[in-house]
Structure 1
Amino acid sequence: MGEARDRKIRAAGAHDRLTAGFVAAGVDPTAFGFYDQAAFLAQEQRDGSYLEKYAEWVATRPVDAVYEAHVRATVPKLASLVAAALTADDMQGGCMTAFSMLTRMLDRLGVWSFGVIGSANLDVPHLDLRRCLHTIDVRDHPDAVLGHAWVCAPPFFIVDASLALQHWAGTPMAGFVPPVVLGDAATAPIVRPGVDDCVSADVRAIHAEAERRLDPNLHHRLEPRLAAFGGRFPAREILLGQLSVRYVPIAIRQTNEPLEMVNAGSGKGRPAITIWNDEVAPAFGL
């Protein structure tokens, strides 16, 4: 009990310091979507990691019972609606679109959130079945997006409405991945990622052949910020029946497009604003 209290005190102190820093920079942190404010963007141009301060602010923000109840009522409902819409549009591989939709819609629904990029590793142990979406991998083409994207909306550290749409059709993994993955501190405990959680087998093999050894710390060599970043945004594992998924954050992302522009003109699936107007807003009585 004392340790939990100490963690809350440390988080509150960090949150207060971040709030003071934003205010000093001319940012108003009381407004949802304040990462769009001109003062915030100006700071981000000077410091490429400034968005991480927003994510830390959200992650350390004190959560009272009323707000937590609002989040727990809102997030699962929204994630299910977005997952159903993306499935209906067959948005395979659409994790970037999904996280952009979710964060922009959560802003409108009064829930603080941020996007996360990282590796996602899926295992069905009794079948010796493993599939990985690694951020450190061999690119099929120069514009390939590696890894996976999901949302953090505390107390939900994992909000994933697109894991089931990562080209599993026709593979043994298809029957194990649910439409929505949600994980909080109770259901998705912190884990320490290993090299196989972060680096693909192909990349590990390339380095092993060149160096004539298997390096268990290769992920830290190839991603030097991983340890420090993981201290603030740790990896977590969630069990979903026979499936376990390990999520390893690598970077914070937030779309620079308003909801009206997310997936607009892509030619693949409906624009986010159409999904909002036709399905999400009516479901929430807006």
Structure 2
Amino acid sequence: MTTNNRSYKKLKTLFSSEGIDTDKIGFHLSKEFLKSEQSKKISIDDYAQFVVKKKLTAEYIEYSRTRILEIVETLSNHINQDSKLGRCIDSSITLSQMLDLRGIWNFIIKGCLTITAKDNSFETQHFYDLTEPNNVAAPHAWVYAPPFGIIDITIKKQKYPLGIANILPEHIAAEIDKLKVINPTVDELVDPVLKRKPYYNQIVKNEVNKVNSVNAVFKPFEFKIDEIVFRYIPVGIGLPETSLKGNQNKFNYKTVNEIWAELN
């Protein structure tokens, strides 16, 4: 997959030529966008680029910051009380749908994550894009919603060795200006187990090319909390396929629409 790096002006022109109203937050669910996506004239990457490159007012940023933190606090509380692990895709989709309803520009990022303890209190944890068997939709998923470059509401709910989850934050909501752009290493993208495979060199080359293409637009970031370093590396983009009304997920025995009602 190659990400076409387009300017904001070109994106506006592209959407306009397809009859898409770009003033409406969540226009990726409009019939015009979906029709153009199906005909491969545009892609969800184009929507995500539009969000990254859009100039936002100070008033919008203030509104967005407040509303995002309200939603994240409530939703992550339910997720962390749920007994199920993983579910980063379901959770990120739910958050994205809620942000759309609040009038907040956002999209989902699928990618690799490396978690390192600077004090060596636990072994480095890797969420590889390429591993074997590779039967998951994404190694990890989080949400980009300015002013936040990383919103990870399932950081505590992944499958870690005993004890690690207890020292991780309830969630991560890191603002873009507090993030450090990084250069990912092959060891963060590809499971070392694959080094023994005869096709290793070729899959590494393909993986690096793919990630470089994505990262030219959607930057890989590092974020530190005390002695823990989190490295988030985008490898793909995601968007909800329905509005929140069509979301059938439950967290902590509550439907997402019941959780949404708590916020209103």
| TM-score, structure 2 normalization | 0.89
Aligned: 1:273 with 2:257:
yes
Query: Match of 1:167, as an amino acid?
Result: K
Aligned: 1:159 with 2:151:
yes
Of 49, 59, 71, 2:52 maps to: 59
| 4+ runs deviating over 4 angstroms | 266-269
Q: What secondary structure is seen at the aligned counterpart in 1 of 2:222?
A: strand
**Residue 5 of structure 1: aligned partner:** none
Long gaps (5+) in structure 1: 1-10, 282-286
Pairwise CA RMSD: 2.4
Which aligned pairs between 1:14-53 and structure 2 lie closer than 5 A?
14-47=7-40, 50-53=43-46
What does the per-residue CA deviation read over 1:226-281, in whole Å, with 9 as the maximum and x for residues that have no partner?
Answer: 112111001101001111111000111012122122234x798432112111x222
| CA–CA separation in structure 2 for the residues paired with 1:159 and 1:117 | 12
2:189–2:207 Cα contact (<8 Å) kept: no
**Residue 254 of structure 1: aligned partner:** 239
2:151–2:171 Cα contact (<8 Å) kept: yes
Inter-CA distance 226–220: structure 2 relative to 1 (3 Å threshold): farther
2:149–2:174 Cα contact (<8 Å) kept: yes
| TM-score, structure 1 normalization | 0.83
2:111–2:129 Cα contact (<8 Å) kept: yes
What does the per-residue CA deviation read over 1:134-189, in whole Å, with 9 as the maximum and x for residues that have no partner?
Answer: 1211126x5x3340010000121101111111133x62422331111122233221
Give the structure with the higher percent helix: 1
1:194–1:219 Cα contact (<8 Å) kept: no
The one of the two structures with greater contact order (alpha-carbon pairs below 8 A, sep at least 6) is 2
Inter-CA distance 267–186: structure 2 relative to 1 (3 Å threshold): closer
| CA–CA separation in structure 1 for the residues paired with 2:29 and 2:119 | 46
Inter-CA distance 79–247: structure 2 relative to 1 (3 Å threshold): same
1:261–1:272 Cα contact (<8 Å) kept: no
Long gaps (5+) in structure 2: none
Query: Match of 1:255, as an amino acid?
Result: P
1:115–1:149 Cα contact (<8 Å) kept: yes
**Residue 6 of structure 1: aligned partner:** none
| CA–CA separation in structure 2 for the residues paired with 1:162 and 1:136 | 21
Q: Would you say how many aligned residue pairs link Structure 1 and Structure 2?
A: 259
Aligned: 1:93 with 2:83:
no
